[in-house]
Structure 1
């Protein structure tokens, strides 16, 4: 049986944790990209389509991070971003009355959270 110092043991444990951590970060990046693409597709399908431009404007932007999972941002390109709250929640009409909201962002958000949490838990379990 070989004798190793506490410093060597600590270094080996740190090395193993760093490798595990990097594997998890890579799997989270893959999961976030997959879930994000699915969310954009869902939003394009479920968004109100009066003229179709609003629904087509959904996209995902990626902000790269070093040593951490990339950040994915799902949004509507300009100038359609101004419509999100009005279409989701409804709004008042000029001549009186209200236009009912058509929830499409909320359900997509709930699905993204559910899918992403599930995939991250699986990535952590598998290492």
Structure 2
């Protein structure tokens, strides 16, 4: 492939634009993958009440994936509990009992957050490296 000197800047610009789009898409996929893994972790570590109706809290975890920006290349992921949202804070951090005493917290959101915090930079770096190889 030969390029005329006056077309060189246009050719380089097109290559760089394609590379930038590849990276944006790869990073968006890394964000979504990280959110999915965080959801699995929080579900696995969520407490389950004994007796009838147990497991409702654990089954209530959902993930909301949103894409925005030009060509939908910016991703945002939210992990939330649809059925028992107000309980998340109480179960994670513990709370006072009505008759006195305290219920200890059961960490299940924090481990998922820490795993996602560790995983996202790894996946992002890998995505950038692989985008350069295409």
User: Same fold by TM (over 0.5)?
Assistant: yes
CA deviation string 1:56-114 (max 9, x = no partner): 11111111213332211111114x11011111111111011111011111110010111
Superposed CA RMSD in Å reads 1.8
Mapping 1:17-96, distance limit 5 Å: 17-50=16-49, 51-67=54-70, 68-78=73-83, 80-96=84-100
Point out which structure has higher relative CO (alpha carbons under 8 A, 6+ apart): 2
Deviation >6 Å, runs of 4+: none
- Give the length in aligned residue pairs: 124
The DSSP-based 3-state class of the residue aligned with 1:64 is strand
TM-score (normalizing by structure 1):
0.86
TM-score (normalizing by structure 2):
0.82
Unaligned runs of 5+ in 2: none
Unaligned runs of 5+ in 1: none
Residue 120 (structure 1) aligned with residue 129 (structure 2): no
The DSSP-based 3-state class of the residue aligned with 1:49 is coil
